[in-house]
Amino acid sequence: MTLRQAIGVIIGANVGTTATAFIIGIKISEYALPIIALGTLLIFFFKNPRINNYGQTIFGFGSLFLGLNLMSDGLRPLRDVQAFADLTVSMSENPLLGVLIGVIFTVAVQSSTAAIGLLQTLFGQGLMDLNAALPVLFGDNIGTTITAVLAAIGASIAARRAALAQVIFNLVGTTIVLILLRPFTILVEYVRDSLNLSPEMTIAFAHGIFNVSNAIIQLPFVAVLAWIVIKVIPGKDSAIPYKTVHLDEQFIRQSPAIALGQGKKEVIRMAELSEQGLKEANLYFKTKGKKHGELIPQYEDAINNLDKKITEYLMELVEYQITNKVKFSDSAISDLDEMFELTLSTLRQSINALETESVKDAHEVLKKEEQIDKMERNLRKKHIIRLNENKCTGDAGIIYVDIISNLERIGDHAVNIAEEVIGE
């Protein structure tokens, strides 16, 4: 994505992260152990990966609530500590001190969720008033940027720019709200009294109002923010083209033959990216240049993305052909059955040769693979004849040729196994 798009995602993430504070404010922490038990059940007693993912999410929330309970119990003695009482008074009188404390704690735990959850606990137990809690909340929002800063260390120029954008965004938002701290505090008190909110939910609403307001204020200035970070972090970042170029779903519906050709072009493009990535790896090995090291994972991500998109495209092509009831002629089905049997026999014998170290079986595999090659060429010729005689459709032909090509490749892999047994 572009830098402006990345800044938009950062703004959205800042708003989205307020959801956890609202969940904590609901006070379901007393059900932490049953929630953990449910998550454990979904993780360890189901084989479905999607269910496992849900289990991990539920288990994580349960652990969060359990941790908050433990912190709550551990913080109760603070109400009797005079030094802590004096500190909260100082934070009420000097908001910058509260911001600094919020930043330090969030940086220490590297989790704004944990920091805000702790703040909700302290405020809920009456260990600090609203005037002290709000600056700490703003500091938590600045401290959460440390995760992005740490991730950007040694990363590409684009990654460092995105991290700086998040830091500037949160600093500007905190500065604005500190200037308007008194009106903001009055607004939070009004919302609390109007909705009869609990202390924990009051902090959640304050967090939500702050982030939503910050997003509304700064969203029109995304272009300005992008310009600033580019000036602060100059340079041209090497962008690897990770999007597909040749794939178009219209070809699938209009002309499957052209669609397959476009898929081939994209595969070739992916191969070229692989070649370039290998060159960068070689240069990094020789020069230890940081620039080459940064490009290697980008090439890998681009190749993985193309691989996924090409696979989805070709699968959609096959599904289209199945939906449209593409049929093979009887002679084509008979030829495919024969080639399947020969390929299966060859593969089975190569596995047996590897298992028993039988050189004789390995040599038989080599002979059978030659038969597969001849059969593949012969079936292609027969296919062309059927097309000329209108006994086979073009759509069916695409699948047919693809099948015999893959069977021939399986035979090649069987030869690789056989040659390993022979020692060649």
Token look-up 């938009």 returns 8
Q: Which DSSP string corresponds to 345-385?
A: HHHHHHHHHHHHT-HHHHHHHHHHHHHHHHHHHHHHHHHHH
Token look-up 């596995």 returns 351
Highest mean pLDDT, choosing among 126-130, 201-205, 244-248, 283-287: 201-205
Please say whether the beta carbons of 72 and 121 come within 8 A. yes
Distance CA 216, CA 261 (A): 47
Please say whether the beta carbons of 148 and 6 come within 8 A. no
What pLDDT score was predicted for residue 280?
78
Q: How many CB atoms lie within 10 A of CB 211?
A: 21
Please say whether the beta carbons of 354 and 420 come within 8 A. yes
Query: Helix crossing, 82-93 with 95-109: angle to 10°?
Result: 120
CA 59: distance to chain centroid?
20
> What global pTM score does this model have?
0.55
Distance CA 212, CA 215 (A): 5
> Which of 145, 142, 120 lies closest to 133 in space, CA to CA?
120
SS3 for 243? coil
Identify the helix (H) or strand (E) that includes residue 141. Answer: helix 130-143
Please say whether the beta carbons of 36 and 63 come within 8 A. yes
Distance CA 306, CA 98 (A): 48
Q: pLDDT band at 331, cuts 50/70/90?
A: confident
Question: Does residue 366 or residue 4 have the better pLDDT?
Answer: 366
Q: pLDDT band at 409, cuts 50/70/90?
A: confident
Residue 317: pLDDT above 70?
Answer: no
Phi and psi dihedrals of 86, rounded to 5?
-65, -35
Please say whether the beta carbons of 160 and 6 come within 8 A. no
SS3 for 197? coil
Token look-up 């059927």 returns 386
Distance CA 99, CA 165 (A): 20
Quick: pLDDT tens for 54-87: 999 999 888 878 887 787 677 667 666 677 667 7
Lowest mean pLDDT among 21-30, 100-109, 173-182, 333-342: 21-30
